Amino acid sequence: MIHLKKTTISLLCTVLLLTGCATSNTNSQNDIVQTEINSYAKTISVEYSDFDLDESSDNATAINLSEINGDLEITNAGSYILEGTLQNGQVVINVAESDKVHLILNNATISCDYGSPIQVDEADKVSITLMANTINTINDTDSYNEDDERKGAAIYSASSLTINGQGKLVVNADYHNGIGSKKNIKIISGDIEIDAANNGIKGNNSVAMKDGNLTITALNDGIKTEEEEDTTKGYVYIENGNIDITSTGDGIDGTQYVAIHGGNINVTTIGLVEASGSDDTTDFGNFGGMPHWNQGNMPSFPTDGEAPAMPDGTTFPNGNRQDRPNGNKGQMNRPNSEGQMVPPNMPTQPETNEQPIVPQTPTTDSTTETTEEIDLSDASAKGIKAGTDMYIGGGSITINATDHTLKSDGSISIVNGNLELNSSLCKGITADGTLTIAGGNVNILNAYEGIESKESDIIINGGNITVNTTDDGINAAGDGVSEIRISGGNLVVNADGDGIDSNNSLNITGGNIMIEGPTNNSNSALDHDGDMSVTGGNLIAYGPAGMLELPNTCTQYTVSLSLSNMVNLGSSIKIVDSKNNTVVEFTASKVFQNIVFSNEQLTKGNYTVYIDGNEHTTFEISDMLTTVGNNGFGGFGNMENRGDRNNFGNRENDQQ
Q: Which residue has the higher pLDDT, 282 or 485?
A: 485
Among 536, 467, 465, residue whose Cα is nearest residue 501: 467
- Say how far apart CA 385 and CA 267 lie, in whole Å: 12
Helix, strand and coil percent figures for the chain, each rounded to 5:
5, 45, 50
For residue 480, give every residue at least 6 positions away whose Cβ sits within 8 Å of its Cβ, in sequence order, or none. 503, 504, 529, 530
Q: 462 pairs with which residues across the strands?
A: 438
pLDDT in tens, 579-636: 999 999 999 999 999 999 999 999 999 999 999 999 999 999 999 999 998 755 433 3
Among 193, 155, 157, residue whose Cα is nearest residue 176: 155
Q: What is the model's pLDDT at position 41?
A: 81
DSSP per residue over 49-89, as a string?
A: -HHHH----TTPEEEEGGG--EEEEE-S-EEEEEEEEESS-
Q: What is the model's pLDDT at position 332?
A: 37
Cα-based distances in Å from 629 to 210, 559, 562, 565, 610: 59, 11, 5, 11, 16
Q: What is the model's pLDDT at position 631?
A: 58
Kindly tell me if the per-residue pLDDT of 319 is higher than 70. Answer: no
CA 383 to chain centre: 4
- Say how far apart CA 348 and CA 356 lie, in whole Å: 11
The answer to whether the beta carbons of residues 344 and 330 sit under 8 Å apart is yes
Tell me whether strands 582-587 and 572-577 are parallel, antiparallel or unpaired: antiparallel
Q: What is the model's pLDDT at position 366?
A: 39
Kindly tell me if the per-residue pLDDT of 64 is higher than 50. Answer: yes
Kindly tell me if the per-residue pLDDT of 321 is higher than 70. Answer: no
For the residues 477-497, what does the mean pLDDT come to? Answer: 91
Kindly tell me if the per-residue pLDDT of 314 is higher than 90. Answer: no
- Say how far apart CA 574 and CA 608 lie, in whole Å: 8
Q: What is the model's pLDDT at position 295?
A: 33
Kindly tell me if the per-residue pLDDT of 361 is higher than 50. Answer: no
Whole-number percent of the chain with pLDDT over 90: 65
